[in-house]
Structure 1
Amino acid sequence: MADQMHFASAITIEDSIETATGDLAAQIRTQMSGQTLDLALAFLSPHFGRVATSVASGLREALSPRTLLGCTAEGVIGPEQEIERGPAIALVAGHLPDVDLVPFVLPVTDWTQTLDSPAAFRQAVVAPAATRLFVMLADPYSVPVEEVLGAFNSFYASVPVIGGMASGWPQPGGNALLLNDHILSAGAVGVAFAGDVEVDVVVSQGCRPIGRTFTVSAARENVILSLDGTPPLVRIQEVVAQLGEEDRALLKNGLLIGRAIDPHQETLGRGDFLIRSVMGVDPESGAIAVGDTIQDGEAVQFHLRDAVAAEEDLEMMLTPQLFFEPPRGAFLFSCNGRGTRLYDHPDGDVSLIRQVLGDVSLAGFFCAGEIGPIGGKNFLHGHTASLVLFRPQSRAH
């Protein structure tokens, strides 16, 4: 029988290092049936943050993955459940024949020098020819992640980057990033994929548009001064006036604005926007501040987010996968504002993924910011579920 791509995933709520790593290893071994592990991703609740070195050592000793990557997380996601509080570790591992894996570290450094120079960035992020995917885990306190993603977009154009910001620690220096036997409290770690692997990235922003599309007629940095020649506050009032009672109630969760991904697309709908928060309003001028730099001439539309929209959006993004061979494995990077903070039931995202895709080996974590591509460029998101699905290239589509 030919050597085939195979994934396994596990989760444990054991609170001692030895018991937790032993439990995870036993689950993975059972699913892998003796196959060697080329890659393992481990996500640790804050309970294990101070002992991350011992956890990594235990997993490496028990499973011998060629590359071990991971980080601490406010909550972790296993193949069937999401553990948002309490001790837990989630693990996903893969046997990846004919796949090239090249790990990398981005230490805290003179970021300007690293990010502005193609040679310096490629020296820091060494990637094989025809790289198909980067997975990156970063510390939110020490990494200018939007600038880092800008460098990926410039120097590794069209290659998707997916991952998340480590979470669960309220101050700098408390998060742990794992790469083999290295444990970092700052910077970023990751791995590049090339070779016989097909990746499909699903980025579900969990929103729906309201009102109509407007053109930005005046903007300065992250402040929109005019929409179609009218103050944005007036436009918001016009949109809100057309909403039903239930949608108006959702405004307490915050108003969002979407930037059109393709400025030349004539008809825009759900999934055609990069979603950002409306951060503030100047009642005198009617200007609004948003969570991104805005340019004159952009098409924008206001959005709302709720549990129903989040489920509908994720299901809509997943459904096209049913036309292809089932994925062998998946990594999920979900916002720490999702879970039971969004849904009225536990295991919201992972249960929907299993409902649509079936029994897929999956693990992930609740992030302090999610990384994923929209419209061919990589961005940092909030309130998003970023999912990557793996298949062997030779049998994918």
Structure 2
Amino acid sequence: MSELRFASALSVLPETPAAEVEAVAALEQSLGGATPELLVLFITHHHGGALDGLGRRLMQATGAKRLLGCTGETVIGGSREVEEGPALALWALAGDGVWIEPFRVGARADEEGEVQFSGLPPAEFAEEGTLLMLGDPFSFPMGQYLEQLNEHYPGRPVIGGMASGGRGPGQNLLFQDGETLAWGAVGLWLGGSVEVVPVVSQGCRPIHEPYVITKIQDHVIRKLGGKTAAHVLQKAFQSLESRDAALLQRAPFLGVAVDATKSTFQRGDFLVRGIMGIEKREGGIAIADNSLRAGQTVQFMVRDAQSASEDLDQLLAAQASEGEVGVLLFSCNGRGTRMFPVADHDASRVQARYGREVPAAGFFAMGEIGPVGGRNFLHGFTASLAVMRPRALPS
């Protein structure tokens, strides 16, 4: 049996044919002649009309058996995040014992306006597989679909992101094997000899103290711990030092405890959601999530470059550093130099963790997919990673 191998390549050449040749050559050199079981691609919109048929051409050039990919406003390859200019990133997995089962899904509204999905991933691979998913943000309500996946395949992680760079319907592209799509979502089950570990860095830290939602209407929290929600937020603001108070005033967040059995909480225990506004008359707090309910524990949170960097480093430090490893990185398009004072932040932190050049690729997404507390969610301002390594199979 051939051992599991990972490889990645990045080309920033503006001419698509030349970029394909450069990236494929670098990938093949890294693989040492091994044929990819899976090829993942991310490409910027600079390549325009040449995107149609890209998946088919790359499968032919590499011999890859399966392909998954999408367009992105920024493409990640190795330690680089190419925020300006053209880029094509390839990532490959080769070796025996890998099983891959692709699927695609569409969404439409029925006569009552309810969203109906065309199907679920095949159930026979759900026992131990991980789902990789890419979607179009204009035609596919990924958050609702993840709720269905949580129900039908509890505990199975989903990792991925929403294609970016397009300004309207039909402008983002998804790639699956030899086909190019401008709608819906594509994905695959991945398992067998490859172990996939999700790492989800939401980049926030909790402040003040936790409260229980005691009254809520739709997405507006009316009361926390029996007190008017806005009053509790003001109390939290007044308790903070100037730096954190400024962060809370500029961009307040709410962490929702995922595990109701816990009484003490840390960063990774919360699903982070944005605070949209405050009702002046009744003192309600509007949250960017209509699934909240009374009885849930929440805590106000802040985010800045320092907390986001610390959070990612802490989560990466928990990953084993030895042996073969490959990484797919789905980072929010609000991160990069929009959040951090230096370029290539997330990509370079991944490389720094392992102390060597690790095959990595990804893109800046319009929504990142990953699990928190055993359930999958669509996130914002998050770095969601699929960290892959060989898994020992029973003989």
Give TM-score, length-normalised by structure 1: 0.94
| Equivalent runs, 1:93-132 vs 2, <5 Å | 93-109=92-108, 115=117, 121-122=119-120, 125=122, 127-128=124-125, 130-132=127-129
3-state SS in 2 of match to 1:236: helix
Matched letter for residue 368 of structure 2: E
Deviations 1:312-336 (A, max 9, x none): 00111111113x6445211000000
Deviations 1:133-168 (A, max 9, x none): 000000001111111111111112211000000000
Offset of 1:129 from its aligned partner? 5.4
Offset of 1:132 from its aligned partner? 1.8
Is the deviation greater in 129-138 or in 229-238? 129-138
1:391 maps to 389
Structure 2 Cα separation of the partners of residues 52 and 143 of structure 1: 21
| Equivalent runs, 1:202-217 vs 2, <5 Å | 202-217=199-214
For the Cα contact (< 8 Å) 1:129–1:194, is it kept in 2?
Answer: no
Structure 2 Cα separation of the partners of residues 225 and 343 of structure 1: 34
Structure 2 Cα separation of the partners of residues 287 and 269 of structure 1: 26
Structure 2 Cα separation of the partners of residues 147 and 238 of structure 1: 34
Is the deviation greater in 30-39 or in 193-202? 193-202
Structure 2 Cα separation of the partners of residues 369 and 69 of structure 1: 18
Structure 2 Cα separation of the partners of residues 247 and 338 of structure 1: 19
1:369 maps to 367
Matched letter for residue 149 of structure 1: L
Structure 2's unaligned 5+ residue stretches are none
The answer on 1:163 being equivalent to 2:166 is no
Offset of 1:125 from its aligned partner? 4.3
Which among 166, 173, 177 is matched to residue 174 of structure 2? 177
Structure 1 Cα separation of the partners of residues 174 and 284 of structure 2: 40
Structure 2 Cα separation of the partners of residues 253 and 91 of structure 1: 38
Structure 1 Cα separation of the partners of residues 24 and 41 of structure 2: 12
Structure 1's unaligned 5+ residue stretches are none
Matched letter for residue 147 of structure 2: G
Matched letter for residue 100 of structure 2: L
Structure 2 Cα separation of the partners of residues 30 and 96 of structure 1: 15
| Equivalent runs, 1:321-332 vs 2, <5 Å | 321-322=319-320, 325-332=322-329
Counting aligned pairs with the same residue, the percent is: 39
1:14 maps to 13
Is the deviation greater in 129-138 or in 336-345? 129-138
Matched letter for residue 132 of structure 1: G
2:264 maps to 267
C-alpha RMSD of matched pairs (Å): 1.8
For the Cα contact (< 8 Å) 2:6–2:324, is it kept in 1?
Answer: no
3-state SS in 1 of match to 2:8: strand
Structure 1 Cα separation of the partners of residues 81 and 9 of structure 2: 12
3-state SS in 2 of match to 1:51: helix
Structure 2 Cα separation of the partners of residues 235 and 326 of structure 1: 49
In 2 relative to 1, CA 129–226 (structure 1 residues): closer, same or farther, beyond 3 Å? closer
1:189 maps to 186
Which among 265, 279, 289 is matched to residue 276 of structure 2? 279
Offset of 1:49 from its aligned partner? 4.3
Offset of 1:252 from its aligned partner? 5.1
3-state SS in 2 of match to 1:297: coil
Offset of 1:17 from its aligned partner? 1.3
| Equivalent runs, 1:1-397 vs 2, <5 Å | 2-109=1-108, 115=117, 121-122=119-120, 125=122, 127-128=124-125, 130-251=127-248, 253-292=250-289, 293-322=291-320, 325-358=322-355, 359-394=357-392
3-state SS in 2 of match to 1:379: strand
Matched letter for residue 79 of structure 2: E
Matched letter for residue 87 of structure 1: P
Is the deviation greater in 186-195 or in 102-111? 102-111
For the Cα contact (< 8 Å) 1:42–1:91, is it kept in 2?
Answer: yes
Offset of 1:33 from its aligned partner? 0.5
